[in-house]
Amino acid sequence: MVPGITLNDGRTIPQLGFGVFQVPPPDTRAATAKAIEIGYRHIDTAEMYRNEKGVGEAIAASGLDRGEFFVTSKLSNAAHLPDDARRAFDKTLSELGTDYIDLFLIHWPLPTLYDGDFVQTWRTLEEFRKDGRARSIGVSNFTPVHLQRLFDETDTVPAVNQIEIHPYFVNDEFRAFNQKHGIAVEAYSPIAQGEVLDDPAITEIAGRAGKTPAQVVLRWHIQRGDIVFPKSKTEARVRENFEIFDFELDEASMAAITSLDRGEKGRTGGNPDTVDFVPKD
Ligand SMILES: NC(=O)c1ccc[n+]([C@@H]2O[C@H](COP(=O)([O-])OP(=O)(O)OC[C@H]3O[C@@H](n4cnc5c(N)ncnc54)[C@H](OP(=O)(O)O)[C@@H]3O)[C@@H](O)[C@H]2O)c1
């Protein structure tokens, strides 16, 4: 049974989900359907992944009520201006084939674009929350500096902040800032896109626990209280990643994994202060 985390707006999010970054659009429906069959009810997609349609089709075909699912999507970097964001959000709902989304995020703050004005973008997400089409709203890749601007200039504290976190980039300072302000932390690239799985410290703990390295790392996140949604297009791994609630890591194992941190060098993704990628269409 996947535990729920209560967000600052009173809604509950399953702590484990299925991420679909880099799942090719034509494969997304089948991959998501398989994840649903295994038991996942929380799916993390984004406009820029171009695979919201496949997620929506799998949910529709599952035969389960829409209310059983927790679906997250994220605003494209190309759509930060308010009218663009409104159009993009309409398209997200239509691609997903749903009249509401559980959680909608600003994907990147883009402080070097749009005159650095992600506040106008956040106000537009506040509209989606007010009209009920986004049950919760949040951000991704926001640093404490970016968050502070939202606290100072708007009325809504984000429900979540989705940031890169894994044993090579534990990001504890940013996690603590979010926690202090009641923002739930979502850890993306939780197994560093596979890079941490051969680490001798992790394989040793996995051997002792009788679990795989991926299960040990995902369990580490769960015990830290973060929300995770590992991605895999391999059915056996999707299943394996779901089987992390029948064992516990002791304090020494938790500390040993945390000590693998490599700081900034450990990132697999971009630095939010400089990322300025904008998709062309
Ligand atoms: N907000 C953001 O900017 C942002 C950025 C990155 C990611 N995300 C979100 O976070 C999710 C997860 O992050 P991610 O996709 O970057 O990386 P990840 O989940 O850390 O790793 C995915 C990679 O690990 C492999 N893998 C998965 N489970 C495995 C297992 N049990 N054993 C061995 N290898 C395994 C997958 O291979 P196969 O697929 O080949 O099996 C894939 O290559 C994304 O899907 C997305 O939803 C958000």
CB atoms within 10 A of CB 262: 12
- Is the CB of residue 275 below 6 angstroms from any atom belonging to ligand 1? no
For ligand 1, the distance from its centroid to the CA atom of residue 19, given in whole angstroms, is 7
User: Average pLDDT, stretch 102-107?
Assistant: 99
Is 49 tagged catalytic? yes
Q: What is the pLDDT of residues 136-153, one digit of tens each?
A: 999 999 999 999 999 999
- Is the CB of residue 19 below 6 angstroms from any atom belonging to ligand 1? yes
Ligand 1: which atom is nearest the Cα of residue 105? Answer: 1
Query: Percentage of the chain surpassing pLDDT 70?
Result: 100
Task: Quote the pLDDT of residue 91.
Answer: 98
- Is the CB of residue 51 below 6 angstroms from any atom belonging to ligand 1? no
Mutate to test the pocket of ligand 1, among 32, 140, 198, 232 (most ligand atoms within 8 A of CB): 232
User: Average pLDDT, stretch 185-210?
Assistant: 98
Asked if residue 8 has pLDDT above 90, the reply is yes
User: Average pLDDT, stretch 27-49?
Assistant: 98
User: Average pLDDT, stretch 214-227?
Assistant: 98
Task: Quote the pLDDT of residue 205.
Answer: 98
User: Average pLDDT, stretch 13-29?
Assistant: 98
For residue 277, name the pLDDT band (cuts at 50, 70, 90).
very high
User: Average pLDDT, stretch 24-42?
Assistant: 98
pTM given for the model: 0.98
Which of the following is catalytic: 40, 49, 168, 188? 49
Task: Quote the pLDDT of residue 281.
Answer: 76
Q: What is the pLDDT of residues 53-102, one digit of tens each?
A: 999 999 999 999 999 999 999 999 999 999 999 999 999 999 999 999 99
For ligand 1, the distance from its centroid to the CA atom of residue 21, given in whole angstroms, is 7
- Is the CB of residue 241 below 6 angstroms from any atom belonging to ligand 1? yes
Mutate to test the pocket of ligand 1, among 15, 43, 103, 189 (most ligand atoms within 8 A of CB): 189
Q: What is the pLDDT of residues 231-251, one digit of tens each?
A: 999 999 999 999 999 999 999
Task: Quote the pLDDT of residue 269.
Answer: 97
Q: Which of 257, 50, 281 is nearest to 168 (CA)?
A: 257
